[in-house]
Amino acid sequence: MTLAMDEAPGMPLNRAMLKSARRRERRILSGLALPALVLVACILLIPFAWLAWLSLFDAAGNLSAQNYARLLRPAYVGSFLTTFKVAGLVTALCVVFGYPVAYLLSQLSARAAQILLVFVILPFWTSVLVRTYAWLVLLQRNGVINDWLLSMGVIGEPLALVHNLTGTIIGMVHVMLPFLILPLYASMKAIDPVLLRAAANCGASPSQAFRQVFLPLSMPGLASGIALTFVLCLGFYLTPALLGGGRVAMWSTQIADAVSKFSNWGAASALSVALLVVTAVVLWGVRRLTDALSFSAGKP
């Protein structure tokens, strides 16, 4: 709701009335947003405050910084690095596989793109647990993939594709790929094809038009997809726990172990708070990068 005030030529602007109207408009908008703000506070801020409070107490119930000091131990530092390593590799592979798919969808007709989008969204119709167990069957030593490679003579003995980092990354890429394709496709679809035709009329080859026009304009969507995929990977638990076989220690598995095995809610809360802070920093950095890319793409 925007309030516009027209004034006759030569009449001085009534600043007091304008300020009053703007204050009234802000109060109306604040009232409309109040239910959403209350909902966000209930489902995000209150649980986070509870976790932060629990993280300040040790196992004996005493106020202490022991839980945060524990994060500096080699085991936690190693799992922290593993978490970012897995998230980075999965995100990079999703970019490699997802960008061509999103580009293909953006260049097809609307009907053909809708048909192919069904195959991108189709994994959402199946539980992550079912898909993870399916990969467990496919990647095991006597699974379909090893049997096929042995029958083709590509390998002489079964490969270790599961209960390690390789199986974890394969399963997570399969789960996370749609989260990168969908926002990237939406960004690519918004690019005006007239710009590419104008580049061609100026003498640019198709590859030059793609590199100099299409690719820069798709960068904000790519940055959003990367941020979404990377952040989801940081807190992913099910696939690393099953396909990693306990050998891929991420912070999500450390949090689960602290609660289920040791009943140490303080340590689990400290891990959760630290992971949330790191995630917020990553999102802030991606936001700044996205703004910079959007500004660069908007330059003439």
Read off the pLDDT of residues 97-122 as tens digits, 9 standing for 90 and up.
999 999 999 988 889 988 999 989 88
| pLDDT reading at 19 higher than 80 | no
Burial status of residue 193 (CB atoms within 10 A of its CB: 0-12, 13-18, 19 or more): exposed
Tell me whether residue 185 is in a domain.
Answer: yes
Tell me whether residue 58 is in a domain.
Answer: no
Over range 244-250, report the average pLDDT: 84
Tell me whether residue 106 is in a domain.
Answer: yes
Tell me whether residue 144 is in a domain.
Answer: no
Structure token pair of residue 118:
């069904």
Tell me whether residue 15 is in a domain.
Answer: no
| pLDDT reading at 58 higher than 90 | no
CATH number of the CATH domain containing 290: 1.10.3720.10
Structure token pair of residue 18:
């304008």
Higher pLDDT, 259 or 176: 176
| pLDDT reading at 79 higher than 80 | yes
**Secondary structure of residue 56 in the 3-state scheme:** coil
| pLDDT reading at 288 higher than 90 | no
Over range 222-233, report the average pLDDT: 89
Cα–Cα distance, 294 to 280 (Å, whole number): 21
Tell me whether residue 56 is in a domain.
Answer: no
Give which of 178, 169, 170, 171 is closest to 122, Cα–Cα: 178
Q: What is the pLDDT of residue 141?
A: 86
Domain that holds residue 219: 75-124+165-297
Higher pLDDT, 155 or 105: 105
Tell me whether residue 64 is in a domain.
Answer: no
Q: What is the pLDDT of residue 293?
A: 62
Over range 193-216, report the average pLDDT: 86
Give which of 185, 270, 273, 179 is closest to 226, Cα–Cα: 179
Average pLDDT, the chain: 84
Tell me whether residue 25 is in a domain.
Answer: no
Over range 51-78, report the average pLDDT: 83
Over range 129-135, report the average pLDDT: 89
Over range 75-88, report the average pLDDT: 90
| pLDDT reading at 299 higher than 50 | no
CB neighbour list of residue 265: distance below 8 Å, 6 or more residues apart: 54, 258, 259
Q: What is the pLDDT of residue 38?
A: 87
| pLDDT reading at 174 higher than 90 | yes
Over range 253-279, report the average pLDDT: 85
The number of folded domains in the chain is 1
Contact by Cβ (8 Å): 79, 293: no
